[in-house]
Chain A
Amino acid sequence: MGKVKLAGIFALAGATLAMAGAAHAEGTITVASFGGTYQEAETKAFFDPVAKELGITIKQDTTNGLDDVRLQVTGNAVKWDIAEMGADECARGTKEGLFEKLDYNVIKSDGINPQLVKDDWVGISYTSVVLIYRTDVFKDGNGPKSWQDFWDVKKFPGRRALGAFPTESLMVAALADGVPMDKFYPLDIDRAVKSLEKIKPNIDVWWSSGAQALQLVKDGEVDMASIWNGRATTLKTEGAPVAFSYDNGVFTADCMVIPKGSKNKDLAMKALARFVSPDLQANLPMLGANGPVNEKAFDTGKIPADKLPSINSSPENMKHEVLLDPVFWGEHQVEASEKFDNLIQE
């Protein structure tokens, strides 16, 4: 009798758990992004409105990008339903088959650069690599305006920092060497490496995180640097004596993927469709430094005209920036990294 009773309790408990689990799974997805102020902006722009709209819970996590997703997928421990990463990482992840196919009947890709609309990933926002300089060192607007200026150590003496990221820094080096924006791809990587070699002796720091780049400029450890526009905007807002513009910029996209094996694939698809829709995309530039990936966002009327010059993906700014082509760099990542490392460590 005792045994029977006990078994009954277990069965009941098991059923309850299963039901709770089902209910839980039905209305919840987990999204992983890069954290910090950027993810806060995403929360307000995308996650909160979509959660309300679809009546679901969106849980959040932070990620370092492709490596984390690879770890989950290859380890059969996928806990994210949507993950964000750099577009070039997406291109590499595609080759490794780490993502679920996206359903473009659900996701409307109109207004998104076709270079950022692929079978299993889609762009979500734009980040720029810009040239920043300290106005207390270069007074009256006489600072370096282009990457050619940055490379000109005689005309613009001072301490310099570049990112320790092969793709971004090689693109910057190519621009400095005069590679035209409209004929940028396919890029001659060796030419970019040669250009980088010229400036290498004058680079004091190769920064490896956004916070580090910010600190270097803020503390005056360097006088000019390449920096992500989000950090540049923060510096400016904090009142640091700095100047930067989107002229002559390098332009990269973040994208979102559904990791292969996601348990809430369909719901994730619906959420992702809303994330990239023009009306929610238009929220993004009002909340942070990252520009909307969907250019139709500028037609929604949500973005005031005077805000446009400070948005890196505004139609006007976009003309002066070259996109980090995810497919090209996805394919040449290893080559570029090896050459870059060999150069830096020479």
Chain B
Amino acid sequence: MTAVVTDPGKRVDDDSGELNVAVLKRNARNEVWGLLGLCSPSLFLVGLIIILPVGWLFWLSLYDENGMLSFVNYERFVEQSSYVKTFVTTFEVSFGVTAICILLGYPLAYMLSQIPRRAASICMILVILPFWTSVLVRTYAWLVILQRKGLVNDWLIDLGIINQPLALVNNFTGVLIGMTHIMLPFLVLPLYASMKSISADYQRAGMNLGAGPVATFWQIFFPLSLPGLAAGVVITFVLCLGFFVTPALMGGGKVIMWAMRMQQTTSLYANWGAGSALGVLLLAVTFGLLGFFNWLLRGQIKAAWGGK
């Protein structure tokens, strides 16, 4: 070892006592640039395939079919009652599907989070299994199962539970069933992950302190699972808003959602702008709604998460 013995009275460095300032600063800056460089491909992609097209979409929506700057693509939403109705339907379906997914998915995720990991993995595969089949195939399968002379109605009639077949498909009910089937994993997966991270000690502590199983669930487990539920709900809801195939096939032409109108509008008015306007409106309303959810949920979670 070569010890540098410095006379405390004498200054070795001219840098007023601060050593290697410039180099250290440069190292820090290089680190930042390095990180930025690492994520620049993805940033570039996001810019290229999301921000740019969406901006372009917005720009296009301001032109009519003759290429003149106008609001005609937006005026249509007010003039044609069908757009309002489509809009309402889109949100009705999305709310409905999300609500059913919560009712079905929450207990499912809870069950999965409480059983041993091995059993949970097997059940999880069953939950994810539908992902391996195309949406189209699943939707057709539902048609076969739910139609007037389908499996469900046949069984119910054979069992003497009903006399007339139930209208389970080609209507709002059909869309709810088909979409719930597709959306359920999107709610269950984030919810399960967040439930799994809730330590069993919290529930033990709740019971130990005198709360029965029901009280422990509602006062301890449920509030702790809310952030995961919120994540699942937002994913499910937003995906629902853009659904095309399932409502088109299972709604019997009566449940028309926004994405279906985009395609139809673009074709009818021979003009990208017409369809773009629908996209812009949906994007704006979705953002607005997400903001509202966020605000509402934060309030809810905060309320459930204490304060006196």
Contacts and interface: CB of A to CB of B under 8 A. Distances in A.
A333 interface: yes
A70 B268 CA distance: 12
Contacts of A346: 81, 85
Contact of B270 (A96, A159, A205, A344): A96
Residue in B81, B253, B266, B269 with the greatest tally of chain A CB atoms within 10 Å: B253
Interface residues of B, number: 27
Given A219-B150, A220-B149, A334-B269, 8 more contacts: A96-B270, A159-B148, A205-B254, A207-B253, A219-B144, A345-B85, A345-B256, A346-B85
Contacts of A92: 270
Contacts of B81: 342, 345-346
B147 A338 contact: no
B75 to A, nearest CB: 12
Given A205-B253, A212-B249, A342-B80, A333 B268 contact: yes
B82 interface: yes
A220 B89 contact: no
A206 B149 contact: no
Nearest to A340: B82
A341 interface: yes
Interface string B72-83: 000000001110
Contacts of B150: 219
A221 interface: yes
Interface in A162-180: 164
A337 interface: yes
B267 interface: yes
B253 A208 contact: yes
Nearest to B82: A341
B147 A342 contact: no
B170 A205 contact: yes
A338 B249 CA distance: 22
Nearest to B268: A337
Contacts of A215: 143
A221 B147 contact: yes
Nearest to A212: B249
Contacts of B249: 212
A206 B249 CA distance: 10
Interface residues of A, number: 26
B71 to A, nearest CB: 17
A247 B266 CA distance: 35
Given A338-B80, A342-B80, A345-B81, A67 B267 contact: yes
B37 interface: no
A206 B82 contact: no
Interface in B167-186: 167, 169-170
A342 B83 CA distance: 8
B252 interface: yes
A159 B169 CA distance: 13
Interface string A65-77: 0110010000000
A146 B252 CA distance: 23
A204 interface: yes
A234 B35 CA distance: 62
Contacts of A334: 268-269
Interface in A194-228: 204-208, 212, 215, 219-221
A88 B289 CA distance: 40
Contacts of A341: 80, 82, 256, 264
A96 B267 CA distance: 13
